Structure formats: C-alpha cells, structure tokens
Chain A
Amino acid sequence: MEFLIGNFAELTITGLVLGSVYALVALGYTLVYGVLQLINFAHSEVFMWGTYAVVWVLTLLGASGTSSLAGAAGYLAIALVAAVLMSGGVALIVERFAYRRLVRQNAPKYIILISAIGASFVLSEIMGLRDKIAGFLGLQGVLGDYVNNPRNTSTLPVEIKPEPVLQIGNYMVRDTELLIIISALIMMFVLDQFIRRTSFGRQIRAVAQDPEAASLMGANSTNVVRLTFLIGGVMAGVAATLYMIKVGATGFNVGFVLGVKAFTAAVLGGIGNLRGALLGGLILGIAENYASGILGSEWRDVTAFVLLVLVLLVRPSGLLGESLGRARA
C-alpha cells in the first residue's frame, strides 16, 4: 500500500498507457456487438496482423538502429498507415468470410460465434505458418526477411528510445507514453464525433437499434455492418502501432491475451457503448497496475477478472451500460 502511494503517479500513468491500447482494441468488440449483438472473437487477430504490418513496413523501408520518438516520426507515420490498412483489410475479410452469409441467413448466434473463433485461429495460424505458406507459393526466397521463423518473436527493426518529457507527481512521463495516451484519446474523440454527427454514424446507430426499420428507411445494412468492421479494424491498426512503439515486439499469438483483456474492458465499460470501451480500458489498465503493485504482478489477471465480476454484479450491463444506439442519445 505504501508502495502504491509512493509511486501513485507512475503506476497510474503506465496503467493509462496500457489501458489506452486496451480501449482502442475494445472499440472493435463494442462496435460489432452494438450493430450485430455478436462478439467478434477474430478481432484480436485483426490487431495482431496490424502489429506485423508495422514490423514489415519498417523492415521494407530498411529502418534500423535506435532512434528517439521524434526521429522515427516519419517511419512511424508510414507504419501507422500500413497498420491501419492491414487491420482494416483483415477486419473486412473477417466480415466477408466469417460473418456476412451467416448474418444474412439469420444463422443462430452460436454458429456465428464459432465461425468467428474459427476465423481467429485461422488468422493466427496463417501468421504462425507464413514461412510454409510462402514456401507453397515459391516466395520464401523473396520474402525471407518477412516470413522466416514465423513462430518466434518478431521485433521492430528500429528501436525507439523513450525520452522523459513531463513531470507529473514524482514521475517523469516519457514521450512515448504521452503519445500513446493522447493518440488514443484523439481517436476516441474522432470516432465519437463520427458516430454522433455524421450520416454514417446515424446509419450505424439506426441499424444497431432496429435493423429492419433502418433498411426500410433506406439504410443498406450490409454496408453499415461492413463499415462497422472497418472502423473497428482501423482502431485496432492504430492500437497496433501504439503497441509496437511501446512494446517493440510481437508474435503470432500476441492477439489472444490482449484480445481477452480488451474484450474484458469492453464488457466492463458496457459492451456496445463506445465511451464505455474507453472507460473500461483505462480502468482495467490502471487496476492491473495497482494490483500488481500492491499484491504482486502474478495477481494482475486475477484482479482484472475479479473487478469485472464485481462491476457486473452491481451493474450487469457494465459501467456505462446499454447499447451503441442508446448510449448515443
């Protein structure tokens, strides 16, 4: 406890950093749930593919050595575009092949759920077996740098050195940490405005609230669902870039744990609610840090899920509750 008080600022800020990544990934779960009332279990892999896009594009650009955050800004901007394209594209593929037909035919939810879980495994294993896939295609020679040792950790070719920039309490906040928190907040704000103020946002809300009435008012629900997946993918791409700036390493199986946490964050905040995803992510990140500080790091997962259960006991629909449509009154 004394430790928590003494290092309150540091634990809070590093918790917010992790929570920001949770929150951005949680958006993908919450958006799809809001519109389809389905959990997109493949979303964790949408994120994972984004992290690889960052690694690959920097490898392609020949980035190496170490750099300050500002020095790598150009690389990172390109990596961000690549990650957003990759994650957005993978999200659209998931929608097209794991969802669309089943949704259109009104398949039972559990069937679509299994389809999503299957898509998750397929996406993860394609990444984990990419050397063999490149081999089948006869491209292993050309793609060697990108596909060799697919099951080992892949690291960012350029190493980002964080610099202290801002004193909060007794902690010097690093520039990378500041960037991650601010980027996540900006993305959340942009998305929130998009959903509230644009005609596409209106259509998403309309389909979320009453898909049949929405289609009779001229909303193309297939397009709306596709757009929802795309937005979730874009957010996951941003999260992947921020994650790589912070962690600097990824693996074909990195999506699972982060996905479970992000999903937890979405449920904690109230699944289907965008602001809930942000709140849930940040609270989860901080709570994990506090618990690790007080009880020891092996308690972080226990704490995360005990917190989830406690919140759901008091507020069964999560902190902010209610659906995508309703919360956006």
Chain B
Amino acid sequence: MRAIKASQLLVVGVASALVLSACAAPADTTEGGSGSTESFSIAYQGPLTGADAKYGEYAKAGIEIALADYAAAYPDGPTVTAIYSDSQGDPAQAPALAADLINNADVLGVVGPAFSGETEATEPAYSEAGLVTVSPSATRVSLSEQGWSTFFRVVANDGAQAPAAAKLLTDVVGAKTVFVIDDASAYGVGLGDGIKDALGDKVIGSDSVEKGSTTDFSATVTKVTASGAEAVYYAGYATDAGLIQKQLTAAGFEGTYASGDGSLESTFIETAGEASEGAYLTAAAGAAGDDFVAKWDALTVSDKGSIGVYSTEAYDAAWVILSGIGEGNTTREDVLAWVAGYDAEGITKHIKFADNGEIDGAGGVYYYLVKDGDFEAPVAID
C-alpha cells in the first residue's frame, strides 16, 4: 500500500515538475553568435500573446536583427541566444517570468519590460538581482523616479510624448476642446494625465475605462458626444482604442480621434475599421530606415517577428547589451556597468543614459496619420 502510494506520488511529482518546467520554459530560443565555447542569453520580456501581442512581434524583429549584427561584428565573441518571455504585458504574470530570468544565470541583460505596468511589477526584482533591463517601449514618466539601478530606456518618456500629443491636438488638428480617456493602466493614466496637464482648460471632459473589462463603451461615447468635444485622445492600447473609435463614429462623433504609441499597431485599424481613417497616433518612435528593413528581409531565422512601432528601439536596446557582451563583459555586474556608461550612436538616436536611466536628451515625438487603412510615414511634432 505504502509502495503504491509512493509511486503514485512520484508520478504526480514528475508530472507536475514537467508541467512546471513546461510553463517556465522560454517561448523559444534562437541562435545568435558563434565561434566561442561560452554562451549567454539576452531576454525579452513583453507580450507575445494576448491583445497586445503585436508589440512582442515588433520587438522580436529588432532583437533578431541585433543578434545577426552581433554575430557579424563579434565572430569570436561568446554565443548569444535570445529568450522570449511572454508576459502578455500583464503586471500580474510578469513577476514569475522575471524570477525565472533572474534565476537563469546565462541571462546577462533584458530587453524590456515592454509595458510600464509590468515594469513597475518586475523592476524591483531585477534591480535587486543586478540584472540590467533596457526597455524599448515603457514610457511612463515615474519609472525613472524609483531609484532602480538597473532601469534604462532608449525611448523618450510620456513626459515628452504628452506635451507633444497636446501640441498635435491644438496646433496640427486645431481642436479647441479635447476629451481625454485613459484605460486605468499605469501607462494610460500617466500619459492621459500628462496630456490633461499640457492642454489645461482645453480639456472639456475625461473618463477612465478599465482595460479589458468591457467591449462596450456606450457610456463613454455618450459623455464624449454630450461634451461636444472637437477631439478625443485615448491613452491606452490598440484593441480598446479601435473599439472606442468605432463606437464613437457609430454614435455620430465627427471630431478628430487620436491615441498614443500604445495603439500604434495594425490591430487598431482592423478593429476600428473605416472609422480609423484620419486618426492620429503619437509615439516617441520614428520609422525604420530602408537599411533596417533590408536587414530584416535578409534574416534567415524562422520566426523573425515583423517590423512595427518600437522595432528600431528594440534593436537599440538589444544592441546596447549585446555590444557589451561582445566587448568581453560576461557578468551581470559588468554588463550593467557597460550599459550605464554607454555612449554611442544608435539607429534611433544617440544613446547615452542619465543616472536615472532616461535617455539623455529626449528623442523626438512623431505622429502617424491613418490613411487608406494604413499608417502614413511619421511626422515629427515640434
């Protein structure tokens, strides 16, 4: 009897260990450099599945290009692979994944976290472990004010995006009254509040919709139409941004709709449909150059993501870490020091970090206009 129980326990134990390890296993790994016996990893933390999966796909393109460039630039350096860790952009799921990355001694640096919310949830752990993170896309202002020694980002924060977005609405669009909606996420509230501050008394009303809690925004739509606003800015992510615009248009709203980098992906246009024509999207990210696209085309890995917003930032973030490894920094401590002292031209901007991890000398903010079912080339807001 006892023997049977023990063996049953063993079976259960093995099964659960398998399940656990399956859960903990990285989504996939890709070969990077070659020619050395040493091998290390860089990790990506962000959404690869879920409503915001496009961001992960876009980042993957940048990281894969950076890995290819690394292999070419440091043929004798250690082998580096990328681990893609799928947080779904969810602050609740991210800490467990971050713990896995921290416990994986091969990981020398993290590209990410992708979103502000998951950064808040995981950066304390990274900071304590001394594992450097370079985010291509987490833009909430307060992230750099927490004293995290490992936090860096290669993108201008919402403090830069918000005033620029406000400027877009008043100067380019010419709106006299604006209704601001946020999605109650760390990112949405930060960006939305920044825009309200910048717009001052041009803000005619505001609302906050909980991300993912509904697909029906009729009360918000009523508020917007009742306010008579000439423009609406939605600080949140693509699916909801699309649904809100669609429902606004259906209710007869004829003003201008704008949203931020969180909505700057094709899901927004697919979801809003025809209503998305003429919408403005703001982002502290410019377009990928022809060079970049050519390199992506030349990639031979099976899953190389696709080029979109923050692909180039993901490249820069990955390159900052990879070049450190190529230059012989093979401990987390050394890579962290390398990143903190980094000072070189990136493909999006000159990259040099301030003590708080912000990029020195904010990069520009751009707007993307939706026309004929696609985003037009970005235009700098100045």
Contact = CB atoms under 8 A, between A and B. Distances in A.
Do A and B have CB atoms closer than 8 angstroms in the complex? yes
B215 A249 contact: yes
B274 A174 contact: no
A164 interface: yes
Contacts of B329: none
A297 B222 contact: no
Contacts of A258: 215
Contacts of B31: none
A243 to B, nearest CB: 8
B210 to A, nearest CB: 5
Interface residues of A, number: 42
Interface stretch (B50-58, B145-153, B313-321): B50-58
A30 B271 CA distance: 32
Given A161-B250, A288-B219, A153 B271 contact: yes
A153 B239 contact: yes
Interface string A152-174: 11010001011010000000101
Question: Which residue of A10, A248, A290 has the most chain B CB atoms within 10 A of its CB atom?
Answer: A248
Interface string B212-237: 11111111111100100000000000
Contacts of B251: 174
Interface residues of B, number: 35
A288 B220 CA distance: 11
B246 A248 contact: yes
Interface string A123-160: 00000100000000000000000000101110100010
B271 A249 contact: yes
Given A159-B274, A248-B246, A298-B210, A11 B267 contact: no
B207 interface: yes
Interface stretch (A14-22, A107-115, A204-212): A14-22
B289 interface: no
Given A153-B239, A300-B219, A159 B208 contact: no
A22 to B, nearest CB: 10
B181 to A, nearest CB: 8
B215 A7 contact: no
Nearest to B206: A296
A257 interface: yes
Interface in A247-263: 247-249, 251, 253-254, 257-258
A292 interface: yes
A153 B226 contact: no
A26 to B, nearest CB: 16
B273 interface: yes
Contacts of B243: 247, 249
Contacts of B223: 3, 293
A79 B173 CA distance: 40
B212 A257 contact: yes
B36 interface: no
Contacts of A251: 51, 239
A11 B212 CA distance: 21
Contacts of B226: 3, 6-7
The B interface is mostly helix, strand or loop, or mixed, namely helix
Given A3-B223, A128-B49, A292-B219, A300 B270 contact: no
A309 to B, nearest CB: 18
Contacts of A298: 184, 208-210
Given A247-B215, A297-B208, A297-B209, A151 B220 contact: no
B158 to A, nearest CB: 19
A10 B250 CA distance: 13
Contacts of A155: 270-271, 273
A292 B214 CA distance: 12
Contacts of A301: 210, 213
A202 interface: no
A321 B216 CA distance: 28
Contact of A153 (B51, B184, B222): B51
A257 B273 CA distance: 23
B252 interface: yes
A161 to B, nearest CB: 7
Given A247-B243, A249-B271, 6 more contacts: A151-B50, A152-B51, A258-B215, A298-B184, A298-B209, A300-B214
Interface of B: 49-51, 53-54, 184, 207-210, 212-223, 226, 239, 242-243, 246, 250-252, 267, 270-271, 273-274
Interface of A: 3, 6-7, 10-11, 14-15, 17-18, 66, 128, 149, 151-153, 155, 159, 161-162, 164, 172, 174, 176, 246-249, 251, 253-254, 257-258, 288-290, 292-293, 296-298, 300-301
